Chain A
């Protein structure tokens, strides 16, 4: 019999019950909660008179709606304020630990879980948010769920699930300096398409993945959903274990040693069989820029925007035509021809300390181009913000003309006041370039933090490596 994949191991470890019809009752170890997808779930519990099954499995924070400017006046938008207050009240009523808006540990839910050690290898991790795949970087089975499933987990600690197929994305070679985990995942999505991994759980493996820091691995897993996969994951290695030592919720002392022994088994067996294998050479990769309205519409920084006439498939051709109109771009243009109105550095994809350091290195001693209306940096959590300030990164950004903001989801999805105006082009380190995502009529280009920083300085896209001081 063939060995097991990492996904098979995680799945088998969490099966509580098998239905004759093939569905499985899967146990959930960690449930992360935010204000947008939870109120109807808490309400459902209250109406049915059901308690939360295991309140210590939950961790909540307010991130989508919170202002990133001065918070001393509270939230001005009444509807947003009610949603955040509803989360506060629900957490109080049910005894859920919440990092509220003014807690120094508050931040984007997918940033604070790992930061606190609330995400551990071997766990099943869910959240009412599609970017939950982020936590798979720790050798966990992590996936996004809808609000009905949020309620289901609260009430039963389980979900009814069907087994996925296994896909291995093997990254050979290492990224060259100035090319980041973000470029890698954008290139992978460009290769397999936004539905390329639908029905699969992706394991990211190979030298190029294990050479990444935990933060880089989180960036890669974060966008598994943009390739259609509900889960992305990376096997546990020394980098994983080193990251977890001494996190607030990590096990301590002898318990940590015991856990490490178990975590060391969280990798695919050498003879495991994958339903599909995709290979990529990291060493040849250039910085990436998306030009269209789907993350798969991506180019090398010196690439050329495609001509729909060259696309044989009619549905794809129409997609390209529609995207060119929405983005106001022409075939044959290059990223350097795209003038930028705003720059956003943040989101659950790219708001961690290494992201901010990489962006600051490009910005240091330079200034934001006068044609750029706004450039902002939104750290992923209060603790990251504090760390960045201790390192003086905030000064570098502010001196260059960036705004230095409070943590939250911010302009990734523009539920708060941070948003694009109609027609504006934005260099964004977030994860989705859908129509209207960052504001009605807004035009999003997904890039890495150094690429966003370089674009802010130049006023259009440039290869950030030309600004780098370390090459």
Chain B
């Protein structure tokens, strides 16, 4: 996974609450068995005019904020509360990443989406509603509005030089900063996992008679 330390980028404001993962990446694009190829389907129903459910050429919807010419190349998505609610599909994060996003800023997220972000080098920042409101006003007032996000310092610097601190738990921060392979990290505790299993087998042996065994 690509490490994340600092990122400067242009901001696109998506001014609606409860943006669900069906909106971020509709189900007809989840049939792929690959991790790539989702970027152009990001926000499909909003981004294209009369989008049918099929793949293929679609005309961009000029009214959708991501399509505004001055937002092309934006890499920071400013959003409202409960962003990423609904389905667990990690494809939503893959689509955002492929479309060039490295950071999302919102007052709150759905938990599964939030957790999926950290596995893919996408930083979801939580700021309080007032601060998010202020950022919306600033972004909408200035074309080419940029933010500088510093994960090491846990701080955002606005286009106007204002510094906004943000909180993030240490585990997530470390994983992003170092681009860690979480599985490799967990496997360093192999002995503890095996010890736990041995203990549980004594206490609750019925938990270890699974489908595979019953099938034999």
In the assembled complex, the CB of A317 is this many whole angstroms from the nearest CB of chain B, namely 11
Which A51-108 residues sit within 8 Å CB-CB of chain B? 53-59, 64-65, 77, 79-80, 82-83, 86, 95-97
Among residues of A, the one whose C-beta sits closest to the C-beta of B195 is A16
**Cβ contact within 8 Å between B23 and A146:** no
Q: With the chains together, A43 CA to B27 CA distance in Å?
A: 21
**Cβ contact within 8 Å between A432 and B186:** no
Which of A123-131, A211-219, A327-335, A356-364 contacts the other chain? A123-131
| Residue total for B at the interface (Cβ-Cβ under 8 A) | 66
Is B138 positioned at the interface, with any CB of A under 8 Å from its CB?
no
Is A208 positioned at the interface, with any CB of B under 8 Å from its CB?
no
Is A241 positioned at the interface, with any CB of B under 8 Å from its CB?
no
Taken residue by residue from 1 to 32, chain B's Cβ proximity to chain A (1 for < 8 Å, 0 otherwise) reads as 00000000000000011101011001110111
Q: With the chains together, A331 CA to B170 CA distance in Å?
A: 47
Among residues of A, the one whose C-beta sits closest to the C-beta of B181 is A48
Beyond A248-B214, A432-B22, whether A152 also contacts B182 by CB under 8 A is yes
Beyond A146-B116, A434-B23, whether A56 also contacts B86 by CB under 8 A is no
**Cβ contact within 8 Å between A120 and B93:** no
**Cβ contact within 8 Å between B17 and A57:** no
**Cβ contact within 8 Å between B110 and A198:** yes
Is B134 positioned at the interface, with any CB of A under 8 Å from its CB?
no
* Chain A residues whose CB sits within 8 angstroms of the CB of B210 once the complex forms: 30, 54, 56-59, 97, 118, 249
Q: With the chains together, A322 CA to B18 CA distance in Å?
A: 12
**Cβ contact within 8 Å between B171 and A23:** yes
* Chain B residues whose CB sits within 8 angstroms of the CB of A316 once the complex forms: 17
**Cβ contact within 8 Å between A80 and B171:** no
Which A395-446 residues sit within 8 Å CB-CB of chain B? 413-415, 419, 432, 434-437, 439-440
Among residues of A, the one whose C-beta sits closest to the C-beta of B55 is A79
Q: How large is the interface on A (under 10, 10 to 19, 20 to 34, 35 or more residues)?
A: 35 or more
Which B168-216 residues sit within 8 Å CB-CB of chain A? 169-171, 174, 182-183, 186-187, 189, 192-193, 196-197, 200, 203-215
* Chain A residues whose CB sits within 8 angstroms of the CB of B200 once the complex forms: 27
Q: With the chains together, A198 CA to B126 CA distance in Å?
A: 13
Is A349 positioned at the interface, with any CB of B under 8 Å from its CB?
no
In the assembled complex, the CB of B158 is this many whole angstroms from the nearest CB of chain A, namely 22
Chain A positions near chain B (C-beta within 8 angstroms): 16-17, 19, 21-23, 25, 27, 29-30, 36-37, 39-40, 43, 48, 50, 53-59, 64-65, 77, 79-80, 82-83, 86, 95-97, 116, 118, 120, 122-123, 128-130, 144-149, 151-152, 155-158, 160, 162, 194-195, 198-199, 225, 228, 230, 248-249, 251, 255-256, 258-259, 262, 294, 315-316, 318-319, 322, 413-415, 419, 432, 434-437, 439-440
